[in-house]
Chain A
Amino acid sequence: MAVHYPQQDYVARGSQTTSVPGDLISAVSVHGSVRSVGQARMFPSSIHVERDFVVDVPNVGVVRVLNSFYIRVQRVEGGFVAVSGISDVYELGETASQAVVNYLFSLVDELVWFREHKESLSSSMLRDCTKLQFYLSLV
């Protein structure tokens, strides 16, 4: 399934053995191992991203989830923001789904950026990189 964005085409897919995700992130993946926790329309809300979920961003990279994590979505002025405990990046979106998709994209971008700059990272930045790599791996 491809979701089109102004900047770039975006694809997310998941394990074929996992259940259909909740309605909140239906724009992300029909077959992905991502689901909302609790009532999806209540905010703040948490999205559970399960192990083996794959995020494929054309021309950027493909990432597989090694360890599950939660994305927290909450309302902000003009839309929604998505954050998690695995990285200090955040992403905005006009809708909750857009914020989650943008956030997943951003994590892929972050992992690729860490890989490209690994030789020039300070020790604290390397710790951030190691933390992210515990949860995500470039395929």
Chain B
Amino acid sequence: MGTSINDLRRVLAVVLGFELEGGGDHVRYVLRVNGIIVARTKFSRSWRGNQQIDDSILSLQAKQMHCSVKMLKSLLQGRLGKEDYFRVLLDGGFISQDDFDFLSR
């Protein structure tokens, strides 16, 4: 079973706590810690409705999120949670330990 845009939206907003940024022509989700943007991901302006996303595109989306496509798939399947993702951000130097503790609460 493939991944739909709504699946991705749900993981970003509900599981990981990304905020949807309104306005403009692009859909962008940002992850903030105490007002500081530590990660963001942007949807293609060509996406319409709830279309399916193939693996090659999912890989590019994962790159924007600083994680592997394997991790993103696991998040989408519910096999991994937000703490696993924030651990990857911590290990990659994208967030501090304080950020990790805040995000993982």
Chain A interface residues toward B at CB < 8 A: 7-8, 60, 76-79, 81, 83, 88-94, 98, 102, 105-106, 109-110, 113, 117, 120-122, 124-125
* Residue pair A91, B64 in contact (C-beta under 8 Å): no
* Residue pair A109, B26 in contact (C-beta under 8 Å): yes
The smallest beta-carbon distance between A111 and chain B, in angstroms, is 12
* Residue pair A109, B25 in contact (C-beta under 8 Å): yes
Given contacts A83-B60, A122-B94, contact A92 B47 (CB under 8 A): yes
- The SS class assigned to the A binding surface is mixed
* Residue pair B37, A90 in contact (C-beta under 8 Å): no
- Chain B, interface size category, equals 20 to 34
The smallest beta-carbon distance between A13 and chain B, in angstroms, is 20
Interface residues of B in 51-99 (CB under 8 A from A): 54, 56-57, 60, 63-64, 93-95
The smallest beta-carbon distance between B62 and chain A, in angstroms, is 10
The smallest beta-carbon distance between B87 and chain A, in angstroms, is 16
Looking at the complex, which one of A94, A106, A113, A124 makes contact with B45 (CB distance below 8 Å)? A106
